[in-house]
A and B are shown apart, each in its own frame.
Chain A
Amino acid sequence: MTERPDFANMSCPLPLMDHDSIQLAHGAGGLLSADLIDKLILPRFASPELDKLEDQAVLDLPPGRVAFSTDTFVVSPIFFPGGDIGDLAVNGTVNDVAMSGATVHALSVGFVLEEGLPLADFHRILCSMEAAAKKAGVRIVTGDTKVVGRGSCDGIFINTSGVGVIPDGLNLSAASLVPGDRVILSGTLADHGMAVMTVREGLSFQSSVQSDTAPLNDLIRMILAAGPGTRTLRDPTRGGAATTLNEFAKASGVGIKLDESAFKVRPDVAGACEILGIDPLYVANEGKLIAVVPADQAEAVLAAMRAHEHGREATIIGTVVADHPGLVAMKTGFGAERIVDMPVGEQLPRIC
């Protein structure tokens, strides 16, 4: 499945080439560690700060409030249709920082590698991170690598943290929703969660479903330009859109009314959801965001989103209301209204 990188053409042949997989010594701080960093990691992340290999990266950030976020990625399997853990690690943190309206400047990365992880797999993940960082326009400026014994982690865990600077005057907050505001979803639901589920052990699907992992910082820039009064932005990851919307309702003490017919789900994703009995509203997305904007800016924001690569299928999915504060209600295609509750734990495939 993974190609062995051409170590012979890297600068200098060292013991690294003799191993096909990560050894405990790769984390011990000696020659093998240095090798791993020099030969495999540095070339992919090529940033001036990282190349200095100091204990810390020194950044010259523009003035303003700093947005700072961290996330740890433990997804299994590490390779799935449409991406891998490396894509998620970069895009996930870029998005978390960018949801504040900040311009994302830099990421750190911490690797926990399992003894026995094939080097070719690690290399593939690094390449994904390189490409994702380039696409997002961010640099990886500092990092750390540890190796744990076989069985102590699932192949690889990645932590990324990110910093960005928020423009003056911008104060996005989930507590700022006001009745009348419109709720906009940037695209189709459940792509990522179902892509991962269809390759999980015990479920052997042949699926065309692809993860939607993507950096949204550029889309956010367009949204804020078209809608300076935007209240808040959030990416509906774990727990799905339902969780994010409930969080908004509770934070602002308002109700949200959704229109079920406005949600879009790709047919193959819908098919996978039907087979497993899973509700797309509760499935993770990794390349989507929910924006709440004042009613008079909704059309402009929608147009700006649809003009962007990552917002082509954007739709207005609902409205903020004063009724039923803290609760999210949805009008079904049949005209009835039902509650969209917070999920309890992970949705599991069911037969019942």
Chain B
Amino acid sequence: MCLAVPGKVLEITEENGLAMGLIDFAGTRNKACLTYTPEAGVGDFVIVHAGFALQVLNEEEAAASLKELGRLAEFMEKDKT
């Protein structure tokens, strides 16, 4: 369940009283409701599910995870040889 995709907030507007963001997904853009991510600003990444942003993506955590996984991969590679 829960197909949700990360995208970048390009613009924030209001429609019918709801905060809406124009979100960029590698060049395809779609609107998502930002009511549940009031802290999201232009330039932030959010995860979008069925037209709603559910959470702001923590870019530092993402970078840290990738770095650690990269180190693991390198270590495994070296260990093999």
Instruction: Determine whether the beta carbon of B30 is less than 8 Å from that of A352.
Output: no
Stretch at the interface among A152-160, A271-279, A309-317: A271-279
A270 to B25, CA, bound (A): 9
A275 to B30, CA, bound (A): 9
A277 to B3, CA, bound (A): 7
Instruction: Determine whether the beta carbon of B25 is less than 8 Å from that of A275.
Output: yes
Give chain A nearest CB distance to B6 CB in angstroms.
9
B30: chain A residues at CB < 8 Å are 204-206, 275
Give chain B nearest CB distance to A328 CB in angstroms.
25
**Residue A267 CB within 8 A of the other chain:** yes
Q: Which residue of A lies closest to B22 (CB)?
A: A206
**Residue B58 CB within 8 A of the other chain:** no
Q: Chain A CB within 10 Å — which of B22, B28, B31 has the most?
A: B28
A207 to B30, CA, bound (A): 8
A351: chain B residues at CB < 8 Å are 1-3, 49-50
Convert A336-352 into 0s and 1s, putting 1 for each residue whose CB lies closer than 8 angstroms to a CB of B. Answer: 00000000000000111
Instruction: Determine whether the beta carbon of B50 is less than 8 Å from that of A274.
Output: no
A124 to B29, CA, bound (A): 27
Within 8 A of A (CB), among B1-16: 1-3, 5, 7
Instruction: Determine whether the beta carbon of B2 is less than 8 Å from that of A271.
Output: no
A275 to B49, CA, bound (A): 8
**Residue B46 CB within 8 A of the other chain:** no
Instruction: Determine whether the beta carbon of A198 is less than 8 Å from that of B28.
Output: yes
**Residue A209 CB within 8 A of the other chain:** yes
Convert B1-45 into 0s and 1s, putting 1 for each residue whose CB lies closer than 8 angstroms to a CB of A. Answer: 111010100000000000000101111111100000000000000
Give chain B nearest CB distance to A258 CB in angstroms.
23
**Known A275-B48, A351-B49: A207·B28 in contact at CB below 8 Å:** yes
Instruction: Determine whether the beta carbon of B29 is less than 8 Å from that of A205.
Output: yes
The size class of the interface chain A forms with chain B is 20 to 34
Instruction: Determine whether the beta carbon of B28 is less than 8 Å from that of A275.
Output: yes
A208: chain B residues at CB < 8 Å are 27-28
B24: chain A residues at CB < 8 Å are 271
**Residue A268 CB within 8 A of the other chain:** yes
Give chain A nearest CB distance to B11 CB in angstroms.
10
Instruction: Determine whether the beta carbon of B26 is less than 8 Å from that of A270.
Output: yes
B27: chain A residues at CB < 8 Å are 207-209, 266-268, 271
Q: Chain A CB within 10 Å — which of B2, B22, B26, B29 has the most?
A: B26
Convert B48-70 into 0s and 1s, putting 1 for each residue whose CB lies closer than 8 angstroms to a CB of A. Answer: 11100000000000000000000
Q: Which residue of B lies closest to A207 (CB)?
A: B28
Partner of B28, one of A268, A277, A350, A352: A268
Give chain B nearest CB distance to A199 CB in angstroms.
12
A352 to B1, CA, bound (A): 4
B7: chain A residues at CB < 8 Å are 271, 275
A205: chain B residues at CB < 8 Å are 28-30
Instruction: Determine whether the beta carbon of A275 is less than 8 Å from that of B2.
Output: no
B1: chain A residues at CB < 8 Å are 351-352
A271: chain B residues at CB < 8 Å are 5, 7, 24-28
B49: chain A residues at CB < 8 Å are 351
User: B-side interface residues toward A, CB under 8 Å?
Assistant: 1-3, 5, 7, 22, 24-31, 48-50
What are 7 of the A-B contact pairs (CB < 8 Å)?
A: A204-B31, A206-B28, A272-B25, A275-B30, A275-B48, A350-B3, A352-B1
Given contacts A204-B30, A351-B1, 7 further A-B contacts (CB under 8 A): A205-B30, A206-B28, A207-B29, A272-B28, A350-B3, A351-B49, A351-B50
5 smallest beta-carbon distances between A and B, as pairs: A268-B27, A271-B25, A271-B26, A271-B28, A267-B26
